[in-house]
Amino acid sequence: MINPTIIDYIFTSASIQRWNDYPRMVELVELDKQAHKFIIAYFIAKLETDINYTHLIEAGIFEFLRRVVVTDIRPDVFRKALQKKSKEINAWVISKLTPSIKDIDNGSFLQKFEEYLSNPEMYKKERFVLKAASYLATKWEFSIVYQTSQFLNDIEDVKKSVDEEIEDYYELIGVRKIALNKKLGKIIDLSGRLRFQKRWAQTPRVPETSVLGHMLTVAIFGYFFSVEVNACDKRLQNNFFTALFHDLPEALTRDIITPVKYCVDELSDIIAEYEIEKIQDDILPNIPEILHDEFSYLLGLYDGIKEEFQDKIYEDKIQIVEDISKYNSNKYNAIDGLALKQCDKLSAFVEASLSISHGIKSKELISGKKEILKGLKVVQGIDFKAIATQIDYEFGTTGQTQVRMEFD
């Protein structure tokens, strides 16, 4: 489904600093920016009429991987370089990524990636939506940077440039709504704030990952799972966006670590009830009404409960199903909830394993990693425990300082 090398690339983005030539009150990293970009792109796309969401997802992943390879080159410098040396830069990016992605979808993923980088007409509308979303995510970050940079000589010029660029995207309804700070703008703010909530809050880690960044890693894992099991378009899209939004309510409740959730009888149920209340009061009212039904389904709301990690379909009504593979058709609107739960656990496992490989070996990380591994299993032929074991092995033999652990 996915290998340790591409996982390492994905998580490298959690260490790529943004706006690192300006003073910042908080760290801003590439993984969080990319996650915010995907969230914004979803809402912009939903207000358009001719978007292919599989293409949107794939284009976003292609751009993300290219950005990770070129690291922290300033966007203006990168755009200038692409104007003059795009063919050479894209060829270099492909050469760096080919060993880790050549086997995904029997080579189809790599083939589409190469075509996307060489053909600007491919996924043209989706590419434009992503560009607009990237701009809005950058503008959101700049509002933070501006607060601590007003003493710098050039900051007003940067602000003017950032403010003016929005006109390039006014043809998109969603951009106009967000720019006018309408209700949708509140959801963009809410999701952006998830970058301030750090995962594994009780222990230091390297690299740190936020709730926002974690949502994207789970979504990307969900995409690769969907490709591996030959999911239909709607099922693949649902899997990606369910994962992308699965922790959105934590912007209102904060990230509550698993041991705390289950330390007292029925505490997890109380937290779930409160999440539902906050979704209904603070999230859904700020989303266009035409999206309420779909977005509630992605968040896992049905029959008065919230459970995003169940295998389910949605025709006339939402149904929990035993064998999701029997519903691999767009008409069923399926979500692989059990597999997404494994993707969620796998992302947490990688977070712990990476930190340990960098020499941060707190008892919380070591015990947490061991418990996560116990919960990984085979879903629809995909052995998540085997993937985790391979990750652990590879991260332990890269010359870094990890001491690989023995698991029962």
Q: Do domains 4-194 and 197-394 have the same CATH topology?
A: yes
The pTM is what?
0.93
Instruction: Let me know: does 220 contact 319? Beta carbons within 8 Å.
Output: no
In this structure, CATH architecture of domain 197-394: Orthogonal Bundle (1.10)
Domain-wise residue ranges, the chain: 4-194, 197-394
Helix or strand run (H / E) with residue 311: strand 311-314
Q: DSSP character for 301?
A: E
Rounded to 5°, the CA angle 343-348-351 comes to: 125
Q: Under DSSP, is residue 172 helix (H, G, I), strand (E, B) or coil?
A: coil
What digits encode the pLDDT tens for the residues 269-321? 787 788 899 999 999 999 999 999 999 999 999 888 888 999 999 998 999 99
C-alpha–C-alpha distance, residues 361 and 217, integer Å: 22
Distance of CA 21 to the CA centre of its chain: 25
Place of tokens 């509308």: 125
Superfamily of domain 4-194, CATH level 4? Hypothetical protein af1432 (1.10.3210.10)
Token couple for 125: 């509308």
Query: What pLDDT score was predicted for residue 78?
Result: 77
DSSP lists the bridge partners of residue 306 as 301
Q: At 266, phi and psi to the nearest 5?
A: 70, 5
Q: At 192, phi and psi to the nearest 5?
A: -60, -35
Burial of 3 (C-beta count, 10 Å sphere; 0-12/13-18/19+) = middle
Identify the CA nearest to 305 among candidates 296, 314, 313. 296
What digits encode the pLDDT tens for the residues 355-408? 998 888 888 899 999 999 999 999 999 999 999 999 988 887 443 433 444 444
Identify the CA nearest to 333 among candidates 351, 318, 353, 350. 318
The low-confidence residues of the chain, meaning pLDDT below 50, are 397-408
Q: At 380, phi and psi to the nearest 5?
A: 50, 40
Q: At 366, phi and psi to the nearest 5?
A: -65, -45
Q: Under DSSP, is residue 132 helix (H, G, I), strand (E, B) or coil?
A: helix
Residue type, 128: F
Query: What pLDDT score was predicted for residue 79?
Result: 78
If you compute the radius of gyration of the chain from its CA atoms, what whole number of angstroms results?
A: 21
DSSP lists the bridge partners of residue 57 as none
Query: What pLDDT score was predicted for residue 347?
Result: 97
DSSP lists the bridge partners of residue 301 as 306
Distance of CA 27 to the CA centre of its chain: 18
Query: What pLDDT score was predicted for residue 197?
Result: 93
Instruction: Let me know: does 136 contact 175? Beta carbons within 8 Å.
Output: yes
